[in-house]
Amino acid sequence: MRFSWLSSWLRRVSLADKCLILFGGAVVLIVLVALSVPWFRMGALVDGGQMELSRNLAKVWAATQTATGTDEQANALAEQVGFEAERFGVEAAQIEAEKDKQFRKMLRRLETDPDREEAQYARWDGATRVYRYLAAERDEAGELVSVVHLSRRSTDAAVQLVVNTAYLLSAGSLVLGLAVVVFYQIIHRIILSPVRSLRETADRVRSGELDVRSDIETGDEFQELAATFNGMLEHLSGTHSQLRSINAAMDVKLNELAEANSVLFQTNTLKSEFLANVSHELRTPLNSIIGFAELLLAIAESEQQEGSPPSADVIKRTRYLQNIVSAGRNLLSLIEDLLTMARLEAGKVDLHIERMSVRDACEGLVALIQPQADRNGVLVRGEIIGELPAIETDPRRFQQVVFNFLSNAVKFSSQGDNQQGEVVLRVECLAAGHGDNDRERVRVSVIDNGPGIPPEEHEQVFEKFRQLGEGPTREYGGTGLGLAIARELSHLLQGDIQLVSDVGRGAMFCFILPVSFDHAKSAEQLLEGRFRGALAGRRQWG
């Protein structure tokens, strides 16, 4: 926690302050280390002089006591000079050591080291220096016989230590101040000034002045950095100029594309209106043509049955009328697809929801597709799996989606060399699932054994006017609207279309519908579709 606070604080401090703090701290540490050596040495010299004085006083005191044989003159001398002295035998010294900690330490030094003749202990007592001295008296074998203890107070030594400390502190402060000033000037001129110049240049570049350049001439790495920075600005300025030229060219192209899009949109609108109008206008006369052609075909067929055998002229007329009826019906189917797609794009498809029997509807669709299947030599059969509930949907749109699947399956499952074309219409009920599939559903599947569709083209077959270039659609014809209409209608009926197919394995188109119809959701879909249709009709490009 403490280190994180320090790191956060250092991130907020400027580079100049960091340099001052770091270099100042380093200078203080160096000065303290440098001054500590003479300070300790001067203290050792003062204490050494005081030890020499204590040694001489102890010798004089011991000699006086030995010469007189009494302690009176020796103590008088000690009192006159200003110290206290006393001789202890070994046992007496041990007793005194138990009472005095400093005495015990000095005595232990003399006892443990036979060659040691003296020991000293110094301490501060207020502003006075107190020295305690212990001299050893040994016999010829080096055994300790007695000790002489001397204690005195020295004001001169204290004054010397204080004066020496004051001199050292003054010298250290002067050196520290001069070092900080010198370091500050060096850092400011060599490091901070070039960095500040680079920062000012970068700020001006960030504000948009790409013509500014750095003019650092220090002859070191900062000058190389400034030269590199100037080179980067040159490249950036050139790139900026190129981008402006490219943007200007893109603006021109964008205006051209906008004009082209406006023309294309108007053309597409005219195309849609033309297709809708022409398809609507063609449907009425085409119905008349188909009706009269069917009437003439019926007359020709009755004449063909009356004649025995029929004449070649009647047979030829019957074949021609059959071709007219077939071509007319194909053209009418194409026109219906175009009108349906136009209504889907405009959001004008109305649904008529009612309850419907899926079984009856599918059986009717199988019967309806049977003539086309017979002409192509394809076997069509229906499979009803389990009990099927009645569903809520638009019967006409439902039949349109499924019939489109059946028609495509019959078209692409024509009898081959060694294969019987076969189409299966399978209907089954799906149980309610979870999430979006929490409703009971019915699945209608159209399965064929045709050439199949590659997986990478599954989405393309549902696109409008899309015909696979190398696929079977070109071979069998078609406009590419059937599956696109089926997908749009399945969306309106709240259903889903699934495709399972691969090359050489046939195809299975599945139409999955909910049993119950959500009217609220349908209203939203119709409103959204009409809004998109109205928006497409009013969109302007410019």
What is the CA angle 369-373-377, rounded to 5? 170
Structure tokens at 294: 């069917």
Domain of residue 375, CATH code? 3.30.565.10
Residue 204 included in any domain: no
Structure tokens at 525: 């879909």
- The confidence score (pLDDT) of residue 16 equals 66
Considering the domain architecture, whether residues 84 and 28 belong to the same structural domain is answered as yes
pLDDT tens digits, 293-328: 888 878 877 877 765 677 777 778 888 888 888 888
Residues 6+ apart with CB under 8 A from 222: 194, 195, 198, 216
| Centroid of chain to Cα 25 | 43
Considering the domain architecture, whether residues 78 and 224 belong to the same structural domain is answered as no
Secondary structure (DSSP) of 460-517 = GGGSTT---TTSHHHHH---S-HHHHHHHHHHHTT-EEEEEE-TTS-EEEEEEEESS-
Residue 437 included in any domain: yes
Considering the domain architecture, whether residues 261 and 380 belong to the same structural domain is answered as no
Which residue type is seen at 53? Answer: L
Distance CA 350, CA 61 (A): 135
pLDDT along the chain (542 residues), means of 10: 59 69 78 82 84 88 80 79 86 89 90 88 86 88 87 84 85 82 77 79 80 77 81 83 88 88 76 66 78 81 71 80 82 77 74 91 91 88 90 92 90 69 92 65 92 86 68 54 87 90 89 89 69 52 34
The residue from 281, 305, 333 where one domain ends is 333
Considering the domain architecture, whether residues 264 and 299 belong to the same structural domain is answered as yes
Domain of residue 130, CATH code? 3.30.450
Distance CA 414, CA 380 (A): 11
- The confidence score (pLDDT) of residue 223 equals 77
The residue from 158, 178, 198 where one domain ends is 178
Residue 339 included in any domain: no
Residue 539 included in any domain: no
Residue 426 included in any domain: yes
Considering the domain architecture, whether residues 432 and 500 belong to the same structural domain is answered as yes
Considering the domain architecture, whether residues 402 and 502 belong to the same structural domain is answered as yes
Considering the domain architecture, whether residues 300 and 446 belong to the same structural domain is answered as no
- The confidence score (pLDDT) of residue 473 equals 43
How many other β-carbons are positioned within 10 Å of the β-carbon of residue 114?
Answer: 13
The residue from 333, 363, 384 where one domain ends is 333
Considering the domain architecture, whether residues 373 and 319 belong to the same structural domain is answered as no
Integer distance in angstroms from the first to the last C-alpha of the chain? 62
Per the structure, the count of domains in the chain is 3
Domain extent at residue 423: 353-522
Which residue type is seen at 448? Answer: D
Considering the domain architecture, whether residues 89 and 23 belong to the same structural domain is answered as yes
Considering the domain architecture, whether residues 291 and 420 belong to the same structural domain is answered as no
Residue 153 included in any domain: yes
Residue 343 included in any domain: no
Residue 448 included in any domain: yes
Considering the domain architecture, whether residues 292 and 166 belong to the same structural domain is answered as no
- The confidence score (pLDDT) of residue 541 equals 35
Considering the domain architecture, whether residues 517 and 375 belong to the same structural domain is answered as yes
